[in-house]
Chains A and B, each alone.
Chain A
Amino acid sequence: MKYEKDIFEIIFFARGGQGAKTAAEILAQSAVEEGKFVQSFPNFGPERSGAPTKTYLRISDQPILTHEPIVDPDVVVVLDDTLLGSQNVSDNLDRREALIINSKFSSEKIRTIIAEKGGKFEGKIYPIDADGLSLEIIGQPRPNTVILGKFIQVTEVTRLESVVKEFRKIFEEKIGSELTTKNIEAVEKAYDEI
């Protein structure tokens, strides 16, 4: 099914305004920092705050030629578990592949919700309470960056140091060093979570 096996493909499901594009961008730049090739683009629709969005990210050791949207991802990241009701997040995810989701629910519960909506997913589900973690450490709901910690732990597609470095580069000027440090702390905590 998958056309190019050596390209690692990720789909982010989120709602407009939740920062999926930023999350993909941080990962993309981290991978570039490590000498890899990337491609990241949103599913180009009307961007409205709160509406479901899809963002694609490819990472590869070889140049990426294709421009088709990702149809068969290796990993899916869901930033908002209410999307399970309207989006087929597990499409083309097989048993060896992973679903990382910002949720308080258990993986069994998430699997049940997917099944109730007519989906079928036998792979591993990694729920992480990214909202809770970011509220606790940062004091603001910033699931998009916190979930990156979990993402790296699960996929090892880039290194935590690269992501931290990139985060600092992109955000230090925008949000100040104190808030940046707290965000990074939250990413690291998510990375260490089992």
Chain B
Amino acid sequence: MEKKNKNNIALTGGAAAAEALRQIEPDVMPIYPITPQTPIIETYAKFQANGLVDTEIIRVESEHSAISAAVGASAAGARTVTATSSQGLALMHEILYITSGLRLPILLVISARALSAPINIHGDHSDVMGARDSGWIQLFCENAQEAYDKTLIGMKLAERVKMPAMVIMDGFNTSHSVENLKTIDDQKVKKFIGELEPVNPLLDVDNPVTYGPVALQNSYFEFRIDEEKAMQEVFIEYEKIAQDFEKISHRKYDYFETYQTEGAEKIMVMAGTSAGTAKVVINKLRKQGEKVGILKINLFRPFPYQEIAEVLKDAQEIIVLDRAQSIGSKPPIYSEVISALFQAKKLKKVKSCVYGLGGRDLFQKQIEDILTGKNQEHYLT
């Protein structure tokens, strides 16, 4: 049994992210506090009301306004955070592109959930996958610990590379589930996050700048190329930040986590809570002599093609679990894995499974049946 530790606490994933935000203490947090909101802003609003944080909370009339206010605050030079999920993220969609186009380091904490219709706000990855091409960094979390840790990493990363970042936990499975986690001392966190040094803030009235002017045929293209370049730089900075984070937490987050992939004949690829559930199955099957492993995505945008192909290249079979569809195309993570292997000139047998849409439970038995070949279905209903 582990020794009693005051830093070993149990919180919902939402409260864990809120605790990280308390330590970050953003200057501004615009929020739209009704369904499909999460415990994140509820918890944070309490911190603010109790005087634990000096943050300006702006209550707005929609998620479109929440992210718009965040854009204004961030352009003004404020450290800015908001949180949403499901339809809320969908409603933000227009402004997501504006945020990344303006290179504003806003942190958006998301409890990933389904999209209507039919109406459903339970866990899946439809909302965040719909935003995967919007120029935001996307970090997935497996549990409450990662929701806490990656909220800290995401904030620092966004500000370092001047790109907005989404920290994504599974709606309900993580956001509303109480789990153990270890937090880091306030002082260490504050030192890790550092002071925000805004680039060209609007409030610097001595050096006036314009944000978001017209860029026509002669320059718009170059802005978009720059955005892609900036996104590629995320890899280098992420690695540095992850190293710094490991120093204060003893927890390491690479682009992805490999679990028992050494010598694995079958590797399952996924993101979020399903990876935890699958680890239990891997433990069982490994004991029975099956050579199986997991690759869990941490960083989905930018996507580390080469590194992932390097891990998958020796496996005989790869199974990709997606908690979203890309209707009319192939599921998002599956498509990326295929692309990674093709770019590396490694053609493999890759199977696609879709699970958990609209909060449908995923059981260990289902994962076991896929890994042992008993279940050949595409949909894990």
Contact = CB atoms under 8 A, between A and B. Distances in A.
Interface string B156-194: 000000000000001011101111100000000000000
Contacts of B180: 32, 37-38, 63-64
Contacts of B123: 44
A63 B145 CA distance: 11
Interface residues of B, number: 32
B38 to A, nearest CB: 13
Interface string A92-118: 000000000000000000000000000
B197 to A, nearest CB: 38
Nearest to B123: A44
Contacts of A65: 276-277, 279-280
A39 B177 CA distance: 7
A32 B10 contact: yes
B2 interface: yes
Q: Which of A33, A61, A68 has the most CB of B within 10 A?
A: A68
B273 interface: yes
A39 B179 CA distance: 5
B10 A29 contact: yes
A131 interface: no
Interface string A65-93: 11111010000000000000000000000
B10 A41 contact: no
A3 B364 contact: yes
Contacts of A41: 172-173, 176-178
Main secondary structure of the interface of A (DSSP, over half): loop
B151 interface: no
A4 interface: yes
A66 B3 contact: no
A36 interface: yes
Contacts of B8: 32, 35
B280 A4 contact: yes
Interface string B343-366: 000000000000000010111100
Contacts of B364: 3, 66, 68
Interface size of A as a range: 20 to 34
B176 A42 contact: yes
B363 A71 contact: yes
Contacts of B277: 65-68
B178 A44 contact: no
Contact of B176 (A29, A44, A71): A44
A3 B276 CA distance: 14
A40 B361 contact: no
Contacts of A148: none
Nearest to B10: A32
Interface of B: 1-5, 8-10, 122-123, 143, 170, 172-174, 176-180, 273-274, 276-277, 279-280, 284, 359, 361-364
Interface of A: 3-4, 24-25, 28-29, 32-42, 44, 61, 63-69, 71
- CB-CB nearest 8 A-B residue pairs: A41-B177, A67-B273, A40-B178, A65-B276, A32-B10, A44-B172, A35-B4, A65-B279
15 contacts: A32-B180, A35-B3, A35-B8, A36-B1, A37-B2, A40-B177, A40-B178, A41-B172, A41-B177, A61-B2, A65-B277, A65-B280, A67-B143, A68-B362, A68-B363
